[in-house]
Structure 1
Amino acid sequence: MRRPWNLVLQHKLDPDLASPLYLQLVHALIHEIERGRLRPGSPLPSTRDLAGELGLNRKTVLSAYEELVSQGWLETSGRRGTMVATNLPDGPPRAIDIQAPIDRAPIYRFAPPPERPIAVPSGRRIKLDEGSPDGSLFPPEVLARAYRTAALFSARRQQLGYGDPRGSEKLRESLVTMLREERGMVADAETICITRGSQMAISIAARLLARPGAVALAESLTYEPAVAALRGAGMPVLPVGMGPDGIDVDAVEHACRRHTVAALFLTPHHQFPTTISLEPQKRLRLIDLARQFGFAIIEDDYDHEFRLGSQPLLPMAAYAPDVVIYVGSLSKLLLPALRVGYLVAPAQVIASAAHLVSVSDGMGNRLTEDAVAMLIEEGEVRRHLRKATRIYAERRDVLAQAVNEQFADMASARLPEGGLAMWLEFHDLAALRAIEAGAEGAGISFAPSESYRLDDTASYGLRLGFASHRSDRAVEAVGILARIGRGEG
């Protein structure tokens, strides 16, 4: 059956829209059906005729018709051609209006994000990060060669399908050697689970440890994403006070006697954000408390490799693997974009972690993991580390000098013996408020002081990364912030 008239659509099709033309036609026809202009059983033009009327490729119209038939809006019937479905219920579901704003509110309930927006790169601004590496230092040709080798390695062994949710065995074996030789840890491939960065590892650990009625502990100055992961797993997070030498161990014991504690989140190597190294006596007392009260210590060793001064202490996991879930990262050592982190824990715990990976991520990125393993085995990681550490040490010293010169009247700075950032603790809170209020207008962004504070007793400060920028750019940013703090700019 042929239509005696051309079909004029209320919604015009626009090839400049992001939506494909055939989907625009799908929504335009649904709109005409919904408003009653095209009634059940109404014939539609042939694909050739409608394509000619609308100035479209016939395949575009054919794709739209096929999509609408599969959804039940249209039907075909031999010689009668294509028509509006005869069995549509009264008031069919409303179609999405492709011309409507994309920020239309959903009709369903969902968990809203926190008030503070997620941290993303901010265009041309200077981003004073909390301790990121300089990705430009790692030679891209070396990375490309490693990926090519990994792809050929996996293809020849028919290992390009789904694999072990614990991650690439090749990378886990490489980590076993690194952890044994560099960090004094006894591990094997069964006690390691590869994750997409350390944040995923922290989140998995939180989910493994959460149980009804239990709480987690964290220092009053701490890593906000870890707190979010613990809370997201259903555990309230209680703050523990800090002194000049780190966490108050007596306060940890007091909390354990008042609450059922499932986890203590800790960054003992370089405390986040203050960079304090936790002394051995406190580490041993915390391990004793963990064994006494049955909680796990989540040890986030996020920047262990970068030693700018004295030799580091061994991780707590090296001498207390029964109470520590160890979180490590290769993202800072190599490139954040690689997204390679890992968990080390007893094999039974890793089996549970692998299950969580399997239901949320399926498996890891085998090509990336094998490529990283080859970089480790071929010595490229060690060579890069030596070069980067030398550069970061120089950048640290330059930034420290600038901070001491510019901020002496507002804050005190801690010169870190390792890591990728320094802590600036403010005693002039008015200056800090002025800096945080005026930084964006000056083209500088950084994590706000409140993001580090778990309770009102914590001090105020900013964590300034010195690794990811050239020294002149970081010094420029410090000078701008200091002038804002003094009310000069």
Structure 2
Amino acid sequence: MIVEIEGSSAAEIAESLRTLIERGALRPGDALPPVRALAEQLGVNRNTAVSAYRQLTNAGVVVTLGRGGTRVAGASPVAQEGFAADTALRDLGTGNPDASYIPDPSDALASIARRPVLYGEPVIDPGLEQAAHAWMSADLPSGTPMRITVTSGAADAVERLLAQALTRDDAVALEDPCFLTSIHTVRVAGYRPVPVPVDDEGMTVDGLRAALEQGVRAVICTPRAQNPTGASLSAERASDLRAVLADHPYVLVIEDDHYSLLSQQPHHSLIGREHRRWALVRSVSKFLGPDMCLAVTASDPETADRLAMRLTPGTTWVSHLLQRLVHALATDPAVLAGIRGAGEHYAARNRAFADLLRAEGITTSPGDGLNVWVPLGAPARAVSEQLMRRGWLVRPGDEFALGDRAPSDRLRLTVHDLDDADLAKLASDIGAAVRTVRAQQRLAG
């Protein structure tokens, strides 16, 4: 097998291995040569072989198993947001908004019928562009030069923003624990994720500083309702992060303010007045519904030009019917009042659940957002297995982790659509599950 691998650079070696895997010469579970053996066989530096394996690991083509070596990855399912398929359990891992709080678009749809849009016309609907400019500029430093771009959702915007600035194996700073879609975007594109720890005030200063020292070329940060933790940047933390970034003005900073209009927290940006490469992304999916695949991006003019260029070979523009519908809904006072009510509802249900958990001896912050991040003091996967026996399907924190670290003791739960009785039952069942797992650990120890 070793003699079949070719290449003198990391990219050539990685491509050779990809070809062998695609042609079936290497199959899922097959072991790859140890790094030292591969480097000696090909006559390259050990770091070159390490880089080749890292590229394949980041892309999900191979997996590193410590002493078990590096092996070809199988077609294992990847964690995704949304409802789990084929389960009879009560699913608490969806990350979905409450459908009853998504605005009815019927009246707005009747008001947007206009002449067709043809090739060569402006790609952004004028009404939406004007409203978006006011919305985004209100949360950026006064006088900051900016341009608006519309994409098919936040994930689309982030993927294209990274693609216009990075090449394969470039390093990207990601929050740890991290939003699932960000993990997938970075992995599939072959970028190198660098974890930055998150605490109750958001991305940590020391973590960002360490990531910059490792040469990251982009930073993705959630200023409010960080998924999965629910943390939001405090004013002091945002100021400290801006100070760290001041020495790196050309590192692309992407701020994913996905919760925006629903948030119960003020927006504190880590984008400084003098930063040269930046983008603030706001999707409408949390408050107008996941099927409204539209996000507005404000960015510096050069980044906006590059982002628009990334759109031209494919979608070119987002449907003007969708743009007009979003504009009609997002400027309707009744709809905006409903969105504010939805945000208050999510916050109230999460607070109620945190209070019930406290009675079970489990202390958690309700945070901000659609989910609650619950510390258990016991292995999350073992607790989740106990909860399955009680009729609940939950997400253990391991799914959101970057890098190699101990198994998580956290659960991410979407509980805002449970009634009072189910909320109380869930808290009681979690308390019982944690006590069972701890008892098992004591017996095993």
Q: TM-score, normalised by structure 1?
A: 0.65
Name the structure 2 match of 1:278: 233
**Contact 1:217/1:237 (CA < 8 Å) preserved in 2?**
yes
Q: How many residues align?
A: 366
The amino acid across from 1:448 in the alignment is P
* Shift of residue 374, structure 1, vs aligned partner: 1.0
* Shift of residue 238, structure 1, vs aligned partner: 1.4
Task: Name the stretch that deviates more: 246-255 or 196-205.
Answer: 246-255
Name the structure 1 match of 2:99: 135
* Shift of residue 216, structure 1, vs aligned partner: 0.9
Q: Which structure has the greater CA radius of gyration?
A: 1
The change in CA–CA distance for 1:190 and 1:128 in structure 2 (over 3 A counts) is same
Name the structure 2 match of 1:423: 373
Name the structure 2 match of 1:37: none
The change in CA–CA distance for 1:135 and 1:211 in structure 2 (over 3 A counts) is same
Q: TM-score, normalised by structure 2?
A: 0.71
Q: Distance in 2 between matches of 1:322 and 1:164?
A: 29
SS in 2 for 1:305: helix
Q: Distance in 1 between matches of 2:239 and 2:330?
A: 32
Q: Which string of whole-angstrom CA distances, capped at 9 and with x for unpartnered residues, describes residues 37-94 of structure 1?
A: xxxxxxxxxxxxxxxxxxxxxxxxxxxxxxxxxxxxxxxxxxxxxxxxxxxxxxxxxx
Unaligned runs of 5+ in 1: 1-105
Q: Distance in 2 between matches of 1:475 and 1:162?
A: 56
| Aligned counterpart for 1:216 among listed residues 150, 172, 184 | 172
**Contact 1:216/1:238 (CA < 8 Å) preserved in 2?**
yes
The amino acid across from 2:109 in the alignment is Y
**Contact 2:221/2:256 (CA < 8 Å) preserved in 1?**
yes
SS in 2 for 1:395: helix
Name the structure 1 match of 2:68: none
Written as runs of structure 1 = structure 2, the 5 A alignment for 1:142-157 is: 143-150=105-112, 152=113, 154-155=114-115
**Contact 1:307/1:389 (CA < 8 Å) preserved in 2?**
yes
* Shift of residue 237, structure 1, vs aligned partner: 0.5
| Aligned counterpart for 1:461 among listed residues 397, 410, 413 | 410
Q: Distance in 1 between matches of 2:145 and 2:282?
A: 15
The change in CA–CA distance for 1:200 and 1:438 in structure 2 (over 3 A counts) is farther
Q: Does 1:250 align with 2:206?
A: yes
Q: Distance in 2 between matches of 1:339 and 1:247?
A: 27
Q: Does 1:269 align with 2:224?
A: yes
Name the structure 2 match of 1:487: 436
The amino acid across from 2:245 in the alignment is A
Q: Does 1:413 align with 2:364?
A: yes
The amino acid across from 1:172 in the alignment is E
Name the structure 2 match of 1:236: 192
| Aligned counterpart for 1:342 among listed residues 296, 299, 308 | 296
**Contact 1:219/1:242 (CA < 8 Å) preserved in 2?**
yes
**Contact 1:220/1:240 (CA < 8 Å) preserved in 2?**
yes
- Between the aligned residues of both structures, percent identity stands at 20
SS in 2 for 1:370: helix
Q: Which string of whole-angstrom CA distances, capped at 9 and with x for unpartnered residues, describes residues 422-473 of structure 1?
A: 22122222xx232222444544333331112113447531222343444444
Name the structure 1 match of 2:215: 260
* Shift of residue 376, structure 1, vs aligned partner: 2.1
| Aligned counterpart for 1:364 among listed residues 318, 328, 333 | 318
SS in 1 for 2:230: coil
**Contact 1:179/1:187 (CA < 8 Å) preserved in 2?**
no
SS in 2 for 1:261: coil
The amino acid across from 2:256 in the alignment is D
